[in-house]
Every structure is written in C-alpha cells, then in structure tokens.
Amino acid sequence: MSSIKKAGVVAAGLSAALLVAACSSGSSSSATSSPSSSSSSGSGTVPSISVSDLNNSFSAMQELSSLASKGKGSVEVILPDTTSSTRYVEFDAPYLKQAFTAAGLTSSEFTIQNALGQDSTQLADAKTAITKGATVLIVDPIDSGVGAQIEQYAKSQGVAVIDYDRLTLGGTRSYYVSFNNVQVGKVMGQGLVSCITSWGVKKPNLIVMKGAPTDNNATLFAQGYDGVLAPYFADGKYKDVSNPPGTWTANVAQSEFQQQYTAHSNINAALIPNDENGAPIIHYLQSQGVKAKTFPTTGQDATLTGLQNILSGYQCGTVYKPIYLEAQAAAALALYVRAGSTPPSSLVNATTEDTTAHTSVPSVYLTPEWVTPANMNSTIIADKFVTAAQLCSGSYAAACTAAGITA
C-alpha cells in the first residue's frame, strides 16, 4: 500500500467533490447513510456506498471493483510510527491491505509504508511514491508540519492526498477520514465520570493528561474530555490537581505521572488519553500498592494490554475505534479519487474545520464506543479485534468468565 496523474485529471474529480462539501458548514455534520446504489455519468456507472455499508466482512469494498479497474496509477499509504500506538502495525496496515485487495487492486497498485516516527522519512516516502507513479496518497501525518510539506509537494505534482486519522493543519488535502475526535474525548471523559461513581471514589482529585502537543488529534481529544470534566471542577465535586504538558511516548507519560503523583499524593484518578500511555502508569500504581477498582484511569485504542487492565480493575474502560471501518473508508475514498469520480455524500458524511488554513474539509466520520467488561464480548471479541484466547490467557481467565467471554 504507471505514470504520474496529471493535475487536471485530479482537479476534475476533486472539484466536483468540493462542490458537494460546500453545501454544509461548520466543523462537522451528522453522519448520514443510505442504501448502496449506483449512479450514471458520462463515463459510465459509478458504484455508491455509504458509511453504514462498511463492516468487518469487507463486502462493501467488493462493490468498488469497477472503480479499481478504472483508476490509474497507484495508491501510497504512509503511516506515522510504531510507538505512539501499536494500532498502526497490528490493525491499520493489515486492514488497509485487506480493503484494497477486496476491491481488486493488485499488489503493484498500492503500497503501505511506515515512517517510523521520522518526519524526513515520511516526506521522502511521499516523494518517492509520487516519482514511482502514485496518483493518491493516504497520509497519517506525524505532525502538521511534515503533513503540510507532503501536501504542498503532492499538489505541485497533481497528486491527491487523503488525511488519515490525523488532520494536517494548514494542509491542502482533498478529504479527511477519522473518528470524530472531539467525540472520542467526550466518550473518554464520560467513561471516567461513570467509573468514579461506580468505584465509589470520594473527593476525586484528578490528574488530566494529554497526548503530544504537536498532534491535532490530542488537542481534539482534550477538547472533548475537558468539556465533560469542566462542570465537575467548577462546582467543586472534583479537584483539578495536575495537567502535565502531554506526550504519546509511554515512558515519558509515566515520568510525567510519577512526578505529579509524588508531588500530589492526593491524586486518586487519572484521565489518560490512550492505553499505551496508561500501561506503564498502571504498572507503577500497582508497584505502589494501589488496589483494583480504587484508582480510576482511562484509555483509548483497545490494545490487548489496555483490555486486560480493564478486566483486572485498573482501567475503567477504553475508547474502541473499529479501525477496519476507518481503513475501508480511506481505501474507498482513494478508489473514487484514483478513478476521477466523486465520492457519494453517503460516504463523505461530515466536514472538518482546518483552523489554520480556514477551510472546511470534506470528511468521513466514524463512531467511537466506550468499552468495559460489560460490552467487551459484544464489541471487541465479536469484531475479532482481539481473540478471546489472547485476552483470556493466564490470570485473566476468571475475569473473562465473569464478563461472559469464553476462550
């Protein structure tokens, strides 16, 4: 995951898409869906899918095989790293490959790279892909700086870019695919509030942590959970004790937490923005003799470690984002753009405000879900995001049984 597509070909497809997007305003719109259908144009029949058609069988991608055969050039996917979350290796890359393959692209028509956390590598990968004939880039930018450089270069070469999971602020991409990231933060904040109550935490004293300041998603997550927590701080029900600078590097997150926990021994709950950051913090709390279901923490991404921390009573829940839906949505957009066709409004179901470029970006929004032991079996296990055998190994068997999960 041929020749370089000329600017006029891409512009023709994209201008039509932007006309569709111009009908809505604001930072986002509610998701819409409609039954799959096909529309006719001067160049033939164009298949149409909606967000609601996407599922874990990848059957909707098969409906786009005519687009795959019609398109020109290759699609290049450039993921950011392997450290901010294990998702990029474990889920995004294989799901993107499955989506393109299900639609009928051959291995020579798409490439999936990982920049391993290096801006220079991500930019070089993009330039190399364009030189080799990529007509569409799907980029999850390490940060908006390199994202904007990639998009400026791609635009100069007549190559379209789709922002994947993270929006490039100040960019010139054609589309954006993600979960509603403010909603992700709201779900996280609401999960913490519910857990504080159910675990009987008296006089909650919170440390509110954040992801990396350079990541726009981290800003949006914080916007969501800060909004949920603000009334509780305002009326004195909760105390806002600490707000570290933020990071996506797990050992740095642990250091931030440990420093604050040492300085403020009254901290008894933590808003932690993802499972990767949470894992070493929970291990540290355990080493300090903190007992299960006494110190609420949160997470995101439904990693195996995060799920097991939930089962053991050290994490309240995790924000589950079915990445197979995000991967299919990105692949579908790429196929429409590569074929010079306008994606249907049933797929492009929202807009996102680029607050730096002051533009409204046509977007696909997918829905996050808060997962606890109560719904783990019907979400994570049912979707085969992880297997029951993986989740329930060793000391977690009893907790799985109690949650209705059988290996």
Span 285-336, pLDDT tens digits: 999 999 999 999 999 999 999 999 999 999 999 999 999 999 999 999 999 9
Q: Are 217 and 211 in contact (CB under 8 A)?
A: yes
Query: Checking DSSP bridges between strand 369-371 and strand 318-320, what pairing results, if any?
Result: antiparallel
Helix H or strand E segment including 156: helix 144-156
Region 168-191 average pLDDT? 97
Cα–Cα dist 333/124, whole Å: 23
Cα–Cα dist 383/141, whole Å: 27
Give start and end residues of each alpha helix (H) in 161-303.
181-198, 216-234, 250-263, 275-287
357-382, pLDDT tens digit by residue?
999 999 999 999 999 999 999 999 99
Q: Are 372 and 389 in contact (CB under 8 A)?
A: no
- Is 134 a residue whose pLDDT tops 70? yes
Domains of the chain in start order, with CATH, are: 7-179+322-366 (3.40.50.2300), 181-321+369-402 (3.40.50.2300)
Q: What share of the chain is helix, strand, coil (3-state, %, to 5)?
A: 45, 15, 40
Cα–Cα dist 203/187, whole Å: 22
**How does residue 45 score in pLDDT terms, banded at 50, 70 and 90?**
confident
**How does residue 44 score in pLDDT terms, banded at 50, 70 and 90?**
low
Cα–Cα dist 294/207, whole Å: 15
- What's the pLDDT score for residue 38? 53
CB hemisphere CA count around 345 (13 angstroms): 11
342-359, pLDDT tens digit by residue?
999 999 999 999 999 999
In what side-by-side order are the strands of the sheet with 74-79?
A: 110-114, 74-79, 134-139, 160-164, 175-179, 359-366, 350-354
- Is 280 a residue whose pLDDT tops 60? yes
Query: Checking DSSP bridges between strand 269-271 and strand 239-242, what pairing results, if any?
Result: unpaired
- What's the pLDDT score for residue 93? 98
Region 249-272 average pLDDT? 98
Q: Are 224 and 274 in contact (CB under 8 A)?
A: no
Cα–Cα dist 393/407, whole Å: 8
